[in-house]
């Protein structure tokens, strides 16, 4: 059932977000081409023509729109399809509550990752269009160096892999925090949206509070110090922290969401 639910979820989100991704890529290509063409003139006044202004605004606007729409889409899919009237359809399908939650989580994750990938590709494309070979190589090296400090030295594949893991787990934690907030908000009879927002703020504050607890701080310090007990050549403290924090968050928020949706559903 999860596969089927995921299929429909990907379609439902894709029909909104995919066109926007394509428009963003187009806008960034236009932006980059325009810069490249104006490069020749080497002066500010040459750049300030109407086309440049339009392509710049379009490009920036697209970024904003994609980010905002993605956020609303994530919330809307969960809220409208599970907690709204469509819930009468979804929760009477022969599928477990867990598969419903996972389908939303995975679909959002996949589309966000696709978006980031598209964004990175667009970024590389832009840099490639605009710059020359030397600048491009410097740009790549800069990125590599930053990755080093985040995940520790090692093969490039491993570094990229670790970065991807942190990213994905981080996204999943944020998503599950949003879902848990909505599940909590659903428990109230009135002003469910408001209660969901309050729940989200509450969760965020709790997370903040936990990170300041003495014993948590102790572990954090130990792990990030060069001589910490988990440190070795292959392993870097930051990575461990990020992964641990994310996993615990996903499990706790997931459990809250599951419990509330499975036992305390009250559609109307």
Partner 1 sequence: MSIFACQNLTKRYGKLTALDNIDLELESGRIVGLLGPNGSGKTTLIKLANRLLQPTSGSILIDGKAPGVESKKNIAYLPDKEYLPDWMNTRQLMHFYGDFYEDFDPQRATVMLASLDIPSDMVLKKMSKGTKEKVQLILTMSRRAKVYLLDEPIAGVDPAARDYILRTIIQNYEENSLVLISTHLIADVESVLDEAVFLKQGHIVLHKPADEIRTETGKSVDEYFREVFRC
Question: Given the rule CB under 8 A, which residues bind partner 1?
Answer: 1, 4, 8, 12, 15, 81, 85-89, 91-96, 263-267
C-beta of 77 vs 173, nearer to partner 1:
77
Least separation in angstroms between residue 93's CB and partner 1 is: 5
- 232 bridge partner residues: 235
Distance, CA of 157 to CA of 147 (rounded, Å): 11
Joined tokens for residue 117: 């990938």
Count of C-beta atoms within a 10 Å radius of residue 262: 15
Least separation in angstroms between residue 88's CB and partner 1 is: 4
C-beta of 10 vs 172, nearer to partner 1:
10
C-beta of 7 vs 158, nearer to partner 1:
7
Least separation in angstroms between residue 243's CB and partner 1 is: 33
C-beta of 42 vs 92, nearer to partner 1:
92
Least separation in angstroms between residue 27's CB and partner 1 is: 26
88 Cβ neighbours under 8 A, 6+ residues apart? 267
């Amino acid at each position: 059932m999860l596969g089927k639910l995921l299929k429909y979820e990907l379609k439902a989100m894709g029909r909104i977000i995919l066109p926007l991704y394509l428009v963003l890529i187009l806008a960034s290509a236009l932006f980059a081409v325009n810069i490249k063409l104006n490069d020749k003139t080497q002066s500010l006044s040459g750049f300030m023509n109407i086309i440049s202004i339009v392509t710049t605004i379009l490009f920036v606007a697209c970024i904003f729109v994609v980010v905002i729409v993605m956020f609303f889409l994530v919330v809307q899919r969960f809220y409208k399809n599970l907690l709204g009237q469509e819930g009468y359809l979804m929760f009477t399908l022969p599928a477990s509550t867990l598969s419903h939650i996972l389908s939303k989580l995975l679909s959002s994750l996949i589309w966000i990752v696709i978006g980031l990938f598209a964004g990175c590709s667009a970024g590389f494309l832009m840099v490639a269009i605009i710059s020359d070979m030397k600048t491009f190589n410097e740009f790549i090296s800069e990125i590599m160096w930053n990755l080093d400090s985040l995940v520790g030295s090692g093969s490039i594949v491993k570094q990229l892999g670790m970065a991807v893991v942190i990213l994905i787990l981080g996204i999943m934690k944020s998503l599950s925090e949003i879902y848990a907030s909505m599940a909590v908000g659903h428990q109230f009879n009135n002003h469910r949206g408001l209660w969901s927002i309050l729940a989200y703020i509450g969760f965020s504050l709790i997370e903040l509070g936990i990170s300041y607890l003495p014993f948590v701080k102790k572990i954090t310090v130990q792990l990030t110090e060069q001589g910490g007990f988990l440190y070795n050549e292959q392993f870097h403290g930051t990575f461990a922290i990020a992964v641990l924090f994310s996993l615990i968050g996903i499990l706790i928020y997931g459990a809250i969401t599951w419990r509330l949706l499975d036992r305390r559903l009250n559609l109307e």
